Structures are given as structure tokens and as C-alpha cells.
């Protein structure tokens, strides 16, 4: 959490800076004033249905204008945040495989598989026991194995196709903070969301996945997902510093 805290503060500051640079602050302030005026009208003129109806229409229009003004900053912030979140997920979102607990390895093929041909084979470090043969799900173009680590390890598994082409994937087991790649992918778009391991070489394999257990971050006696902590801390930072940055939202 000691590392996640300053990252969350920086995210909050970055949000303020981007919002200040990309939003129309005068229009946002005017839109908020119109919304407040409509709310006051609805409370003051409760016995005048026509005025209340007019205030409701103005309130709806004002909210739509406010949301439209927020759209550009939201889009600009979303693009870099996806990359940041993907990196943080690799650090804080998953735990390494627990020793003695089974896990699943899945390989997704780009093309269909022939049931008459031998299945791919899986090789793993000595600390990893392969407990099942390859199980092919022909309709989903997937092959799965059940594995179980019996000692801590940081290494590679290797999957060899029937034609001799091999693909590798990192595997981590044991306690400690890791930079984990749950899925090694071949597609460029998928790589944006799974950047912790290099892309698979061109071929018939779409991705290889190891199902790591989800992790939580412990702070102040509370265990929460890292994204919740980041959103809480960055939001508080933005609220505390918004006047210093001259931002209204």
C-alpha cells in the first residue's frame, strides 16, 4: 500500500491537470448555476404547475449540457488510465499461485482443432506438477491443463503444438509481490490490457492464460481491491486540491 498511495495521489493530481486543460470551466460553472436555479424554482413555485414543469425541463436540459461538457475530459483521461490500470492490475490485482493449490492453464487457438490429431503438450518447471492431460474443448478452440505448484517458483511453462511449434508463458508461485501476467496474448489490442508479458509470436495461438487468484491491498486494517483504494484516494486528492488548480466539476 505504501507504493499504491503515492500513485493514487499522482492519479488524482493528473486528473485535475487534465480536467483543467481540456474542460470549459466557465461553461461548467454556468451550467451548475442553471441547475441550481431550476432546483430552487421547483421548491419555490410548488403551487404553480406550469412553472414547476418549466423548471423540470430546464433541469433536464441543464444536466444534459453538464454531461456533454464532461465528455471531452472523460475521454482524454480514459485513454492513459487504461494503460495505467493495466500495469497496476499486474502488480496489485493478482497473487502468485499458492503452493499446494491447483490452478488451470488455458490455451486459446485462433483456428479450429482436429480431434484426430494429437493434442498439444505442456512442459513446466520441476516445482510445477501437471495433474491432468490436455483437455480439448473443440467448440471453444481451447486446450486446458490442471497444474499444482509444490514449491515456490518463477519460471516458464512451454506448450508445444503437434507441428512442433512451441510457445512459452511466465508462471509464478509462492508468496511475495510479483509483476504477474495472467494472460500472454498475440493481438495488439489485447496487449493494451495485458502488458506484463511480451506478445506471442505470430501463429495459430491467440492467448495463453494462467488463472491466478485475485489479490487485495491491506491498509488501515481493511482489505480492498487495489482499484477501490485508487479511486478513493485519487478522488479525495482531487476534491482537496481542486481549488488550488482552479477546477470546478
Rg (the chain; Cα; Å): 26
Return the closest-CA partner of residue 103 out of 182, 188, 28: 182
Exposure b/e, 202-217, CB count within 10 A at least 16 = b = eeebbbbbbebeebeb
CA 98 to CA 221: how far, in whole Å? 23
Taking every pair of Cα atoms in the chain, the longest distance, rounded to a whole number of angstroms, is 82
Q: What is the pLDDT of residue 130?
A: 96
CA 13 to CA 119: how far, in whole Å? 52
Residue 169 near residue 197, CB atoms below 8 Å: yes
Return the closest-CA partner of residue 86 out of 231, 219, 227: 227
The continuous run of DSSP H or E covering 12 comes out as: helix 4-22
Residue 122 class from Cβ within 10 Å (0-12 exposed, 13-18 middle, 19+ buried)? buried
Q: What is the pLDDT of residue 41?
A: 87
Tell me the pLDDT of the chain (249 aa) as tens digits. Answer: 568 899 999 999 999 999 999 999 999 999 999 999 988 888 888 878 888 888 889 889 989 999 999 999 999 988 889 989 999 999 999 999 999 999 999 999 998 888 888 899 999 999 999 999 999 999 999 999 999 999 999 999 999 999 899 999 999 999 777 889 899 999 999 999 999 999 999 889 999 999 999 999 988 889 999 999 999 999 999 999 999 988 888
Q: What is the pLDDT of residue 2?
A: 60
Q: What is the pLDDT of residue 182?
A: 93
Residue ranges covered by each domain of the chain: 4-93+219-241, 103-210
Q: What is the pLDDT of residue 146?
A: 97
CA 126 to CA 145: how far, in whole Å? 16
Amino acid at each position: 500500500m505504501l507504493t499504491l498511495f503515492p500513485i493514487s495521489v499522482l492519479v488524482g493530481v493528473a486528473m485535475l491537470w487534465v480536467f483543467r486543460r481540456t474542460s470549459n470551466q466557465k461553461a461548467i460553472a454556468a451550467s451548475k448555476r442553471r441547475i441550481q436555479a431550476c432546483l430552487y424554482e421547483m421548491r419555490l413555485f410548488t403551487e404553480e404547475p406550469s412553472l414547476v414543469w418549466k423548471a423540470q425541463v430546464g433541469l433536464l436540459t441543464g444536466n444534459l449540457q453538464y454531461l456533454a461538457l464532461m465528455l471531452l475530459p472523460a475521454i482524454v483521461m480514459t485513454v492513459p488510465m487504461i494503460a495505467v490500470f493495466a500495469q497496476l492490475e499486474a502488480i496489485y490485482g493478482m497473487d502468485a499461485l499458492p503452493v499446494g493449490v491447483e490452478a488451470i492453464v488455458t490455451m486459446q487457438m485462433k483456428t479450429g482443432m482436429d480431434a484426430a490429431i494429437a493434442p498439444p503438450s505442456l512442459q513446466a518447471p520441476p516445482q510445477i506438477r501437471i495433474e491432468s492431460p490436455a483437455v480439448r474443448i473443440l467448440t471453444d478452440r481451447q486446450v486446458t491443463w490442471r497444474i499444482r505448484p509444490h514449491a515456490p517458483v518463477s519460471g516458464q511453462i512451454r506448450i508445444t503444438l503437434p507441428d512442433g511449434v512451441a510457445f512459452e508463458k511466465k508462471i509464478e508461485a509462492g508468496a511475495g509481490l510479483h509483476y504477474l501476467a495472467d494472460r500472454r496474448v498475440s493481438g495488439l489490442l489485447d496487449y493494451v490490457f495485458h502488458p506484463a508479458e511480451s506478445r506471442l509470436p505470430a501463429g495459430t495461438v491467440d492467448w495463453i492464460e494462467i488463472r491466478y487468484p485475485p489479490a487485495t491491498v491491506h491498509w488501515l486494517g481493511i482489505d480492498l481491491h487495489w482499484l477501490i483504494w485508487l479511486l478513493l484516494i485519487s478522488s479525495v486528492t482531487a476534491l482537496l486540491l481542486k481549488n488550488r488548480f482552479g477546477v470546478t466539476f
